[in-house]
Amino acid sequence: MTPGDLAQKARSRAEDAQLSSSRLHLRLSSGPDAISAARRSLDPLGDSVGEDRLRDVQLLVSELVTNSVRHARRSDEVELAVTVTREAIRVCVTDAGPGFQAQPRHDDADPASGWGLFLVEQLSDRWGVELNGKTQVWFELGR
C-alpha cells in the first residue's frame, strides 16, 4: 500500500454508511445441515464482494463450520459472524467446544481429511483461534 492508496475523494455520509460495512450473524444448530446453511447464508454478499471472493469465503466458512460440527461435540450450536467493510471481510465461527492449538499439517497426515485449517492458512490474509470459554476461529480476507 502506498500513501496514494490512502487518499480518498470526498463522499457524503450516506455513501460512507453504505460502504462502511455489512454484517451477518447466524446461530445454526450443530449438525450436517449447518454447513450448507452457512454457505447459503453468504449468497447475498456476492454483490458487494464479487463472485470470486464469495467462493473463497464460502469454502473457508464450510471448512470452519465442518470443524465445529465434527470436533465440538458438546456444542448444540455454531455461531457465524461475518463483517464486510471497504477493506476486508472478517469471518468468525464460534462453538462451545474445548478448543485446540493450531498446528501445521504434517506430511504423514491422512490425505483424505484435515485440510480445513490448511486452506484457511493458504487463502486468508490473517487468521487465528481465540479461547475465551468458547472456541472462536476467525479469518480475514482483503477486498
Q: What is the pTM of this model?
A: 0.78
Question: Which 8-state DSSP code applies to residue 88?
Answer: E
Cβ atoms within 10 Å, residue 24: 15
Residue 10: inside a domain? no
31: CATH: 3.30.565.10
Residue 77: inside a domain? yes
pLDDT digits (tens, 9 = 90+) for 63-103: 999 999 988 876 789 999 999 999 999 999 999 987 766 66
CA dihedral 74, 77, 81, 82 (to 10 degrees): 100
- Pairwise CA distance, residues 117 & 131, whole Å: 16
Sheet with 88-95, strands from edge to edge, namely 21-29, 77-85, 88-95, 135-142, 126-131
List C-alpha distances in Å: 76 to 29, 33, 37, 85: 6, 13, 15, 30
- Pairwise CA distance, residues 53 & 41, whole Å: 15
Residue 67: inside a domain? yes
Residue 130 has pLDDT above 70, yes or no: yes
Strand partners, 79: 27, 94
Residue 38: inside a domain? yes
Residue 2 has pLDDT above 90, yes or no: no
Residue 22 has pLDDT above 70, yes or no: yes
* Percent of the chain predicted with pLDDT > 90: 60
**What pLDDT score was predicted for residue 99?**
75
Residue 99: inside a domain? yes
Question: Could you tell me the pLDDT band of residue 3, with boundaries at 50, 70 and 90?
Answer: very low
Residue 12 has pLDDT above 50, yes or no: no
Residue 91: inside a domain? yes
Residue 13: inside a domain? no
Residue 8: inside a domain? no
Identity of the amino acid at 106: H
Q: How many domains does the chain have?
A: 1
The overall average pLDDT reported for the chain is 82
Residues 6+ apart with CB under 8 A from 118: 105
- Domain that includes residue 69, residue range: 22-142
